[in-house]
Structure 1
Amino acid sequence: MPKDELKIGNKIFQSRLIVGSGKYKDFTTTKEATLVSGSQIITVAVRRVNITNPNEENLLDYFKDTSIKFLPNSAGCVNADEAITLFRLVKEAVGIDFIKLEIIGDTQKTLYPDVIETLKACEILSKEGFCILAYTNDDPIIAKKLEEVGAAAIMPLAAPIGSGLGIQNRYNITFIKEAVSIPVIVDAGVGCASDAAIAMELGADAVLTNTAIAMAQNPVMMAEAMKYAVIAGRKSFLSGRIEKKKYASPSSPTFGLAKL
């Protein structure tokens, strides 16, 4: 049986869990939870977590003895110009062109993405050679348009960022999977391990979670739970679930029963 690997652009990963770096009490806990999670990718909000200034405490230093790949994101950017400028600076400073494009339209309440600005930035950055994982709403039409302008992966929200509400529209995740041929990574709204398992059972190629781990009472234990939830959900999806039926069905054969 061939390896079940996750391919994003020209990069290949064994883990289908991506973790974030925000909201932890310190970088030491960030590293410990990330390693326990088995994730090979950690996303970093460059405007909030330092990876570009070597003269200040730098998250890169904590991971330099690992093979974990950094995925800079543009959290805090509200239009295409801001995101494009940020990623150009990141590429120049630390040589990373593997990015999560995130442009927020509503910065006060929902933190929903501005998909028009996201499309604009994605098209420009993809032409400059960036490998783009595009954060967006759970809309299959926008997902397809992002693929057409060069996104390497689509990252639809499951619920508002940091809400922990879980997947609010399971149908849209499956619609997006049907609409695009690139990886679909469920992002935002995961609250516990079962949410991650559900996302994978729906056919998502991967899950990204940050708050659910970092803000858990025991972040390291939750990171480990997320690891196994993603693995279990993926195996469940690949196995093929049984058909749903309206009425009960005996689990053992009814023919040949001895009469009492």
Structure 2
Amino acid sequence: MSPDPLIIDGQALSSRFFLGSAGYPSPQVLQDAIRASGTQVLTVGLKRTLQAGDNGFVAQALATAQAQGARLLPNTAGCRSARDAITLAQMARELYGTRWIKLEVIGDDHTLQPDPFELLAAASTLVKEGFTVFPYCTEDLILCRRLLEDAGCPLLMPWGAPIGSGQGLQNLAGLRRLRERLPDVPLVIDAGLGAPSQAAQALELGFDAVLLNSAVSQARDPVAMAAAFRDAVQAGRQAYRAGLMAPQDFAVASTPVSGHAFVLG
């Protein structure tokens, strides 16, 4: 176990890299990417799985993930109402035998931004039904507090940018504020990351983990990209714990010389 585990729902996770399972060119590439990532949380879209009839594909991926101590995190991707998301979450619990659910309730087809009202309603109901809800949300502080305090979610998953956009962390000020105001809450950047450097930046800001899919599955070499993100997440977390130097508006000599005597030869 890592000396710096992430604790969620009483589970200690040594990896802070959560991986999606959609869009890979083959089941074998997905399995190899899971191994390379070192992930301990693998997400799967239940609606996509049921529509495509690829339960065998998911079973293979899950077996690979479980071999390295990973947990399955079904999601409610594609839902646009609290009612649909609740129904899908209940189906996921029956199908996969887990109370963990990544809750997505989309409110806008263009940005895939979550609907805050339907999200809060669904989260409140699912927590009461015994689910551990991982809500996909924005960095809005009021919504985040409602999800924590009113609904009872144990963590938050704010977006970095719209799903699949690869734009990175678009609202740095808002994300920093969220981290500062909720210092003891596990925060996972979910969606919008396109490069390992962006994942490292998220961890350097103090976020606890990242979740991504397209940046790995759509890469020219998904397995190599999974390894690159793994290393970036580890580096970002190490940098945060070590203590990043504060930016300055002026030059600061790395080797101060004033006030010191010199011996000239």
TM-score (norm: length of structure 2): 0.91
Q: In structure 1, what is the equivalent of residue 60 of structure 2?
A: 61
Matched, 1:114 2:119: no
In the alignment, does 2:120 pair up with 1:125?
A: no
Distance 1:130 1:56 in 2: 22
Q: CA deviation at 1:86?
A: 0.6
Q: In the alignment, what sits opposite 2:186?
A: 183
CA-to-partner distance for each residue in 1:88-135, whole Å, 9 max, x for gaps?
11112221111100110012x111100110100001100111011110
CA shift in 2, pair 1:172/1:123, >3 Å: same
Deviation at 1:29, TM superposition (A): 1.1
Counterpart-to-counterpart distance in 1, 2:136 and 2:86: 15
Q: CA deviation at 1:253?
A: 3.2
Q: What corresponds to 2:95 in structure 1?
A: 93
Q: Whole-Å Cα distance in 1 between the matches of residues 222 and 143 of structure 2?
A: 34
- Identity among equivalent pairs (%): 38
Deviation track 1:29-78 (CA, whole Å, cap 9, x = no partner) reads 1111111011111111111135997x953412343251321100000000
Runs of 4 or more, structure 1, over 6 Å off, are none
Residue of structure 2 in register with 1:39 after alignment: 39
Residue matched to 2:138: 137
In 2, the alpha carbon distance for the partners of 1:58 and 1:51 equals: 13
Mapped contact 1:50–1:58 kept (Cα < 8 A):
no
Residue pair 1:203, 1:237 contacting (<8 A) in 2 also: yes
Tell me how far apart the structure 2 counterparts of residues 25 and 141 of structure 1 sit (CA, whole Å): 40
**Structure 1 unpaired stretches of 5+:** none
Residues 1:231 and 2:234 are matched in the alignment: yes
RMSD of aligned C-alpha atoms?
1.9
Tell me the secondary structure at the aligned position of residue 257 of structure 1. Answer: coil
Counting matched residue pairs gives 257
* 1:81 maps to 2:89: no
Structure 2 residue ranges without an equivalent (≥5): none
**Mapped partners of 2:209, 2:49: distance in 1:** 23
Residue 15 (structure 1) aligns with:
15
Q: Normalising to structure 1: TM-score of the pair?
A: 0.93
Decide which structure has greater helix share. Answer: 2
